Structure 1
Amino acid sequence: MQEKIDFAIAFLTDWLKANVLTWNTAVQWSCVVGAYLVTALLWRGLERRLFARVDEKFETGLGRSLLRALVDVGNVAVFILFMQICASVFRVMEYVPRVIDAASDLAVAWIVIRLVTSMMPNRALARGVAALVWAVAALNVFGLLSPITDFLAGLSFSVGDNSFNALEAVKGLALAAVFLQAAAITGQFADRRIQRIRDLSPSLRVLMIKAVKVVLFTAAVLAAMSSVGIDLTSLAIFSSALGVGIGFGLQTIISNYVAGVILLMDRSIKPGDTIEVGSVYGVVRGMFGRYASVLTRDGTEYLIPNQQLVSNEVVNWTYSDTNVRLKVPVGISYGSDVEKALAVLPSAIEGVSRVLRSPAPLACMVGFGDSSVDLELRIWIADADKGVTNVRSEVMLNIWRLFHENGIEFPFPQRDVHIKPDSAIAVKIEKDGGE
């Protein structure tokens, strides 16, 4: 055992003397350290000015992130330039610059990781990509990348009429991740651009964003499948059978998605509208593929399926005009002055800021009740999304004050009892302790 240990130590010592502890290696390490120090000194002052220029030109967005990433890797790019100059000098002198090439490969890997991960919103995926790039760079530095790729290329398998090898499968998964991430980034960029187009209605903007994202992700999946050699025409029969299965098994879900497209196209309901569906009254916060989000005045958010919005009766308070007329019913006693009450009612909007002055409020008599003369005050508001009950409450409180100030009585339920002349009524009075 001791002999084997001594042999291993001797082999390692000889290898270090021949490949590491040499003047050639020492000079290469000196070039790497010197290039790093020179780059750090040159880039220190320039980096702040470049960052300031980028922040001045771009406040937010993908362009700002990309430019900041380029500035961030600028010092590494200058370091790689110095490394390539040193490597060229060594090759002219007929030396192999292994250390310099390894440092250059690791620097290139760092640049790739920084640029790619800076544009990835998914941080877990960004960390996975960084680990993969570092692993490939390390394998390349130690000369293990080619043997591993050759080994994976030799592992073949078949799926139907298509044959693959392990290397193609790994490349396909990597390309699928890249394509899907590129589709997500492009979709976010398109989302911001479409949201800035003020000539489009909110519903049309939502529809365009959804269509762009569907096209991007479909193209990403198809491109990834094609990159690994899958014949896309062979999916036609499978897609037909899958479509039939989806039609029966996911009928409700699909109908909600179709109803969502219909709502976005006909613009009957759009984000920001104030709607009433059954007992739900609130503002449409967002419209999605399967449902619409409606926020009520009490803070409850209802997720209403799109099919229900298409098939059921929906009251859209702000469909074509934000002005909404409210009716405030009022009853006065039969002994009160009706004309005076009608003249006083329009003054009840004084102090209520949400009530519009044009159209003007209108007071009218609408009927004769059992115990009251029925009046009605009709007022207009332009912000139904803030609620209607609170406006009615303020107006009715003003009516209460005005009627008391002007001697107008509110009625009480009452019944008149008529006794016929020939009727006999027996009256019996009981007191405590006897009659």
Structure 2
Amino acid sequence: MKPLSPDVFDAAQALWLQIRMFAKGMLLPWRLNQLLAIAALFLIAHFAAKPIGHWLTTWLRKRQGWTKWKLRLGILIQQRVRVILFALLAWILVAVMRELTWPSRSQLIALAASIATAWAAIGFVTRIIRTRLLRRLVRWFAWIFATLYFLDFLTVAENLLDSLALSFGEFRLSALTVIKAVVVTVVMIVAARLFSRFVTRKLAKNSDIAPEVQILISKVLQGVLITLAILIGVKAAGFDLTGFTVFTGALGVGLGFGLQKVISNLMSGFIILMDKSIKPGDVISIGDTFGWIEELGARYTSVVTRDGREYLVPNEDLVTGQVVNWSHTNDFVRLDLFFGASYRDDPHEVTKIAINASLSVKRVLAQRTPVCWITGFGERSVEYILRFWISDPTAGITNVKGQVYMAIWDAFKKNGVELPYPQMEVRMLRANRDEENAPHFQMTTSLKD
């Protein structure tokens, strides 16, 4: 095992020496008094936070007509009322003490107030990051950075992190470089996503651009900005990108095989947006799923059914599979109903009654006249097909079929048209006298009208 570099021990020793000097300074009488004052302020803020937070919540609920950003700001204040109250009380005490005594007598209280103010500000600013895990990581890193900065430990901490390094020939990778690269990259990605979100909102207000084109521009812009953000972040951290050519090439090949499905879904999403075969609001059927397109994502498409279920269909399935788009070119949809009638009924009257029954349903289009034809002569009935048109498939298919079936049922009952159904006959046969003197039973199924 390779021993640690002497630079690591020197940096760690410098950090430990500064910590000891800081702790020794805290033992001075006038600083102990400030520590007691800070503890007292923290207890006051801790016990006062709950009633103040409850009052603030009640007050916010009564704010009718407030915009969302005002309500969200009020909620953020309510969530951080403890640290805000502590910082406010600390600054008030510092102002009073500097009027009555030397500024050095309140130096530690001012330091605690500065750290608390920085923590509160970081809590507000990091709310712009939507991803919860990323927001927490950024918040904790910013809190640590601010604390080290105000305590004047930042320089020795940077020296320690810079001494923890690995060397690959002429390339040196330290913990400080990695942290800088991550910080710069995260900041650039957040800025890129905010800018992309801003452009998306602007595009949504432009009625001259089709929805699918808006989505395409937004996705392409977001991908380009995030890629540039990563490259700029890595370059700003001091990495020489030309030295990683071979590594990134091999990594790209590996990711290409490992993320084959993901890349396929991404490319399929762009194909769907380009050829406009499917767009938000279309009614589609894929397999047993029937619903309308709620959102076209980069990796999947959201399909919402009439029962409220939301299916996330991979874009690859929409490109390679068979999809029925009920509203691709227009909203007109023809539906087929199959039914049977008795041989004793006149087929001409049956078709006329069925057509008139379908026209009694409001959603059936009268301008596209329904038709009814005989499709065959079955064992127990004459088979018919009724075809009619609707113009609102988004309102559902099963329900309008059910309404037409019910109208046909009522019309047949009213006009005396019989609907055939299977019947069962049980015949009891007597055996010959020479055989056993016992009855024999025979059960047959007869499909009669």
In the alignment, what sits opposite 1:420?
Answer: none
Aligned length: 389
Q: Distance in 1 between matches of 2:398 and 2:252?
A: 49
In the alignment, what sits opposite 1:178?
Answer: 187
In the alignment, what sits opposite 2:430?
Answer: 431
Aligned-residue offset at 1:381? 1.9
Q: Distance in 2 between matches of 1:288 and 1:78?
A: 45
In the alignment, what sits opposite 2:323?
Answer: 314
Cα shift readout 1:84-122 (whole Å, capped 9, x = no counterpart): 9999999xx997973475256325523532332332334
Structure 1 residues 103, 289: CA separation in 2 closer, same or farther (over 3 Å shift)?
closer
Q: Distance in 2 between matches of 1:104 and 1:14?
A: 17
Cα shift readout 1:35-79 (whole Å, capped 9, x = no counterpart): xxxxxxxxx9xxx9xx99xx8997236x98579979999999999
The higher radius of gyration belongs to 1
Q: Distance in 2 between matches of 1:213 and 1:219?
A: 10
**Contact 1:162/1:230 (<8 A) preserved:** no
Alignment TM-score, normalising by the size of structure 1: 0.68
In the alignment, what sits opposite 1:345?
Answer: 354
Aligned-residue offset at 1:267? 1.4
Aligned-residue offset at 1:80? 10
Task: Give the aligned residue type for 1:336.
Answer: D
Question: Aligned Cα RMSD in Å?
Answer: 4.8
In the alignment, what sits opposite 1:405?
Answer: 414
In the alignment, what sits opposite 2:167?
Answer: 158
In the alignment, what sits opposite 1:390?
Answer: 399
**Contact 1:333/1:409 (<8 A) preserved:** yes
Aligned-residue offset at 1:127? 4.3
Cα shift readout 1:136-180 (whole Å, capped 9, x = no counterpart): 444444443333333434444434543244433333333333333
In the alignment, what sits opposite 1:363?
Answer: 371
**How do 1:29-428 residues align onto structure 2 when only pairs under 5 Å count?**
59-60=67-68, 98-99=107-108, 102-103=111-112, 105-159=114-168, 161-296=170-305, 303-349=312-358, 352-353=361-362, 355-366=363-374, 369=377, 375-410=384-419
List runs of 5+ in structure 2 lacking aligned partners. 1-22, 42-51, 435-449
Q: Percent identity?
A: 32
Alignment TM-score, normalising by the size of structure 2: 0.66
Q: Distance in 2 between matches of 1:314 and 1:125?
A: 38
Q: Distance in 2 between matches of 1:328 and 1:309?
A: 28
**Contact 1:285/1:294 (<8 A) preserved:** yes
Task: Give the aligned residue type for 1:434.
Answer: R
**Contact 2:145/2:154 (<8 A) preserved:** yes
Q: Distance in 1 between matches of 2:261 and 2:304?
A: 24
* Greater mean alpha carbon deviation, residues 191-200 or residues 399-408: 191-200
Q: Distance in 2 between matches of 1:106 and 1:338?
A: 90
Instruction: Please give the secondary structure, in 1, of the residue aligned with 2:28.
Output: helix
**Contact 1:256/1:289 (<8 A) preserved:** yes
Q: Distance in 2 between matches of 1:297 and 1:21?
A: 68
List runs of 5+ in structure 1 lacking aligned partners. 1-10, 34-43, 415-428
Structure 1 residues 21, 265: CA separation in 2 closer, same or farther (over 3 Å shift)?
closer
**Contact 1:362/1:377 (<8 A) preserved:** yes
